[in-house]
A = this chain, B = another copy of it.
């Protein structure tokens, strides 16, 4: 940056911006994709739901700010928040995206296993999970951010090992498949899914010991934990949708 650097270099000669982070926090519960939203307590968009987020502190990176805000909104311990998958999505810079002032926002996507209801700790008076499809019109440009985040997550499931971030430490292949089916909105063939996951090196590793027994019906499933790989070879391509879905990875800025 700053290539055509100014002479005296007075910081106030350049337009100051407020910088925030916005978080699209996803989980899969009851076979549906959920997103964490908070209700706004004041204008603008008072009473509307919004993605959690907040301002960067003066000496804080956006990654740090995202983890801090996430801990505040969810009440998760810093150990949990420090370990979870957090991915920078893109930055939204439309000049009118906040009616009060010029704000650029660095958006993140975070993936969580199914957890108990968030404790509305910190400043978020009311935070709760919403089914992603039912997330009404949100404040600011958060509908756009949410849609971009869903697209990105869906795409990354294909060629990364991201899906395990939705699962608890130990999980069955059925649970992992449920993640794919929920995010993609398709049904997958179980033996084929199994074959592909197990043939991808280091995607999952079997965990010894007896299978977990919840009040489930059929044959108990073997447990796995996430492997060391981060990329998926070969990729797990989602079946082509009959209705042409434009990939929507391109173009818009606000």
Contact = CB atoms under 8 A, between A and B. Distances in A.
A254 B55 contact: no
A84 B63 CA distance: 30
Given A15-B56, A18-B11, A253-B61, A1 B124 contact: no
A4 B54 contact: yes
A118 B249 CA distance: 30
Query: Which of A1, A11, A41 has its CB near the most chain B CB atoms (within 10 A)?
Result: A1
A42 B240 CA distance: 53
A218 B138 CA distance: 60
Interface stretch (A74-82, A88-96, A177-185, A203-211): A88-96
Interface residues of A, number: 71
Chain A interface mostly: loop
A233 B240 CA distance: 9
Nearest to A240: B233
Nearest to A46: B5
Interface of A: 1-5, 7, 9, 11, 14-22, 38, 40-42, 50-63, 72-73, 87-88, 90-91, 93-95, 98, 100-106, 122-124, 140, 159-160, 230-231, 233-235, 237, 240, 246-247, 249-250, 253-254
Across chains A and B, which 6 residue pairs bring their CB atoms closest together, nearest first? A16-B16, A1-B20, A4-B123, A62-B93, A15-B58, A91-B91
9 contacts: A3-B38, A3-B52, A11-B18, A14-B55, A15-B19, A17-B18, A19-B93, A19-B104, A235-B237
